Amino acid sequence: MNLRTTLIKASKKLKKNNIKTFQIDSEILLANIINKDRKYIILNPNYQIKKFYLKKFNDLIDRRSKGEPVAYLIKKKEFWNETFYINEKVLIPRPDTEIIVEEVLKLTKHKSDLKILDVGLGSGCILLSILKEKNFFKGVGIDLSKKSVEIAKINAADLGLLNRVKILKSDIDN
């Protein structure tokens, strides 16, 4: 089956299940499955999909049609200027949360050496985004969830920040 036909069928299924973002969700999921970007999907409608990938894609469409968020299905989410690994153990970073990063950067515009504490670290997207922007800042992130701490450490490693951040399973009292 080709990309165009596959997308049409998937979009219809998602639309039928009241997924408002049926078209873009289908494109993102398909691009992720065949390891291409959305532009490739759109510009190569006659590309034939291998049955193995088609089955994986249809499984994701089934899950999305039941309301599972795309970010959890593809295990990543864009935030600020980076891509963060996520799963159902952490909240999906929201675009409006980027305002926090923006405001911290404004407030610290003339600072060159600060330590930042992020309580309730989750995926680490806020703290790690700030550290990526400010090369001489250091940070500590804490979370009660062991799973969140593991995910934040993965993201810190992926972003090359392990040398400037400590990530701990702890509560604020400790």
For 116-138, how does the pLDDT look when each residue is reduced to its tens digit (9 = 90+)?
999 999 999 999 999 999 999 99
Mean pLDDT of 155-168: 97
Strands 138-143 and 115-119: parallel
Report residue 101 as tokens.
């990063």
pLDDT digits (tens, 9 = 90+) for 67-109: 999 999 999 999 999 999 999 999 999 999 999 999 999 999 9
- Global confidence as pTM: 0.89
Per-residue confidence at 142, pLDDT binned at 50, 70, 90? very high
Mean pLDDT of 14-30: 97
Compute the C-alpha angle 82/84/89, nearest 5°. Answer: 160
